[in-house]
Structure 1
Amino acid sequence: MKDKAYELVIFDWDGTLMDTVGKIVSCMQHVAQELMLPIPTEQQIRDVIGLSLPKIMPILFAGYQNHQQIIDCYRRHHVANEQPTPLFEGVESLIINLHAAGYQLAVATGKGRDGLDKVLALTGLGQYFHATRCADDAKSKPHPEMLHSLLSHFNVAADRAIMIGDSIHDLTMANNAGMASIGVSYGAHNEARLKTLNPRAIVDQPLAIHDYL
């Protein structure tokens, strides 16, 4: 077996492990409609996926002051939409294989703690992640606080850790932490946008991630 280039592998959640982009777009547009706000386009919403909700709202709804009302409405819609959201094909095998190979695994996501804990339980993947950080624990991406916290938790140097994500916000966060990254082109942002952040690699399906670790 080849030597591991990295000890710690940190994953984003939405659009990287779970196919949630369509659900996020739909919920955000329904919220705008309910509150009689200008409805953002799919591309506008895709552009901000990965950021925390408090950071997203001033971008999508700049002319509306009560951002907390939008956040509350969004969370209500998201919870009410009980349609199961699938993991991307290959994700479960990838996580199980990396765990078995001895990698330390973590999550760094813009989701809130309640939402993250729920999907970790529903998917059964929670048992494989040794630590998680979310928007309730630290500053929003692209600030590197989540990654710094995980490096400290595992006592791992930045050059021995790698961030996996589907958005420029994930990759910018990794760059800000002095950490390598891998972009996935099947989520919120396409290959051309991800390339601008100089990731170690860009992959078009989850199982290919293991090749770069």
Structure 2
Amino acid sequence: MTRPRQFDLIVFDWDGTLFDSTALITRCIQAACADVGVAVPSDRDASYVIGMGLIEALQHAAPGLARDRYPELGTRYRHHYFARQHEIVLFEGTLAMLQALKAREHWLGVATGKSRRGLDEALSSVQLKGLFDATRTADETASKPDPQMLLELMGHFDVAPERTLMIGDTTHDLQLALNAGTPCIGVGYGAHERAAFDAFGPLHVADSVADLHDWLARHG
């Protein structure tokens, strides 16, 4: 079967790329740090770690905490996050973009720093049923920017790197793509500033979901 356009497989990061969750994650990291009595990171430092696996992210956000207390910090983060996750919504226009890509017969994947439990809960929404063909999370593969999750997704569909596109809102996502040998797109409305993407040679940096949708319609 001949598949459309330039890319067969389009892989999305989750938080800050599809879901408007950056602010909530930042606040939950800060609240968890306060709970365990470690210095509360700034908004910039807390948002920088979004996209990493949870424990690795917390180690970066709270470097002064004793190593054996990171599981406790992780527990406090989950407490705050799961208490408020109902507040998180898709960025406006995201569902229409994903549906359009499916209609054009792209395979859609997710490569995320979320846990499998967290991603499955998000994907249980009726509106997202059947949209994604395969997903990988940080607790079942190596954490970003290690290329394992992206390599596994390409292997699952037997798709070459040049026919795969990685889309994300952090430098961790773009470094993941670089490490896996795939083209990438940055989104400038998430956790990291768009100027930070320049070093990774993205095909495009989208200012909004509408901008991303338009680029994919023309080039994807």
Normalising by structure 1, what TM-score? 0.96
State the secondary structure of the residue aligned to 1:132.
strand
- Aligned sequence identity (%): 37
TM-superposed CA distance for 1:181, in Å, is 0.2
Specify whether residues 123 and 61 from structure 1 end up closer, same or farther in structure 2 by C-alpha distance, changes over 3 A only.
Answer: farther
Task: Please give the secondary structure, in 1, of the residue aligned with 2:124.
Answer: helix
State how far apart, in whole Å, the 1-side matches of 2:126 and 2:23 are. Answer: 18
**Structure 1: runs of 5+ lacking an equivalent:** none
Residues 32 and 39, structure 1, Cα contact 8 Å, conserved in 2: yes
Query: In the alignment, what sits opposite 2:99?
Result: 96
TM-score w.r.t. structure 2 length? 0.93
Q: CA deviation at 1:82?
A: 4.5
In the TM superposition, 1:3-14 aligns within 5 A as 4-14=5-15
**Partner secondary structure for residue 130 of structure 2:** helix
Match of 2:48 in 1: 47
What residue in structure 2 maps to residue 195 of structure 1? 198
3-state DSSP of counterpart to 1:105: strand
Tell me which residue corresponds to 1:212. Answer: 219
- 2:78 corresponds in structure 1 to 75
Which SS does the other structure have where 1:182 is aligned? strand
CA RMSD of aligned residues (A): 1.4
| 1:64-213 map, 5 Å | 64-65=65-66, 66-122=69-125, 124-209=127-212, 210=216, 211-213=218-220
Per-residue CA deviations over 1:120-149 (Å, capped at 9, x if unaligned) read 112621411000000121000000000000
Runs of 4+ residues over 6 Å off in structure 1: none
> Is the 8 Å Cα contact of residues 201 and 212 (structure 1) preserved in structure 2?
no
- Map 1:27-46 to 2 at 5 A: 27-46=28-47
Show CA shifts across 1:101-129 (max 9, x none).
10000000000001001111126214110
CA distance in 1, matches of 2:149, 2:85: 29
Structure 2 segments unaligned to the other structure (5+ residues) = none
Number of residue equivalences: 212
* Worse overlay, 130-139 or 80-89: 80-89
CA distance in 2, matches of 1:123, 1:25: 27
Per-residue deviation, 1:80: 1.4
1:68 partner letter: P
* Rounded Cα–Cα distance in structure 2 between residues aligned with 1:17 and 1:82: 14
Cα deviations across residues 1-52 of structure 1 (Å, max 9, x unaligned)? Answer: xx51100000000000000001001111111111111000000011111111
CA contact (8 A) 2:38 2:64 kept: no
